[in-house]
Structure 1
Amino acid sequence: MMITTAVIAQLPLADIDRVIFYKRDEITTDLICCDVEVAGRTLSFNEEAKGWDDLITHLSALPCFRANWYEAVPNPAFAVSETVAFDRR
């Protein structure tokens, strides 16, 4: 999925309930992924999508967003590592 400005527009900061980062084992590498819960649905993204940096910049504007989420996700390699970067609840 390409992360365009139209996709980001579907993620108004005031409506985002939760942001979770995790990695998926791709056999020889790990793929960093992000689930955004907004308005009762979950949208999933990954670091290989064009526009990933724009998405991260947008999400970083959430109040109390965990800025160091990336440090927690990659380690240990090839193990499940889920990090909640934002939770409105």
Structure 2
Amino acid sequence: MTISSAMLNQLPLSEIDAVAFYKRDEITTDLICCNVEIQGCVWTFHEEADGWQALVAHLSALPEFRSDWYEAVVGPPFATSETIAFKRR
């Protein structure tokens, strides 16, 4: 999967309802994932996708986006550690 600028254009900040980060147990490692909810549809991304940093930068521009999401998700190992980084009020 590649997270392109065209894909990011389909995630306008004004339409994002929620952003959640979590880990998936991949047996020997954890994979950090992100769900972006827009109008009841959920887009799922993961940290190994090309463009992950661009996605995180894009989402970071949301008002009141939780900038400490990474620290909240990474520990403890192999626990889901779901963290809501943004929820529209």
TM-score > 0.5, shorter chain as reference: yes
1:76 counterpart residue number:
76
2:87 counterpart residue number:
87
Deviation (angstroms), 1:60: 0.2
TM score, norm. by length of structure 2: 0.97
Structure 2 letter corresponding to 1:67? S
2:28 counterpart residue number:
28
Distance 1:33 1:71 in 2: 14
1:5 counterpart residue number:
5
Deviation (angstroms), 1:34: 0.1
1:56 counterpart SS class: helix
Gaps of 5+ in 1: none
Gaps of 5+ in 2: none
Q: What percent identity do the matched residue pairs reach?
A: 64
Distance 2:80 2:47 in 1: 16
Superposed CA RMSD in Å reads: 0.6
How many pairs align?
89
Deviation (angstroms), 1:80: 1.5
Distance 2:10 2:29 in 1: 30
Structure 1 letter corresponding to 2:63? P
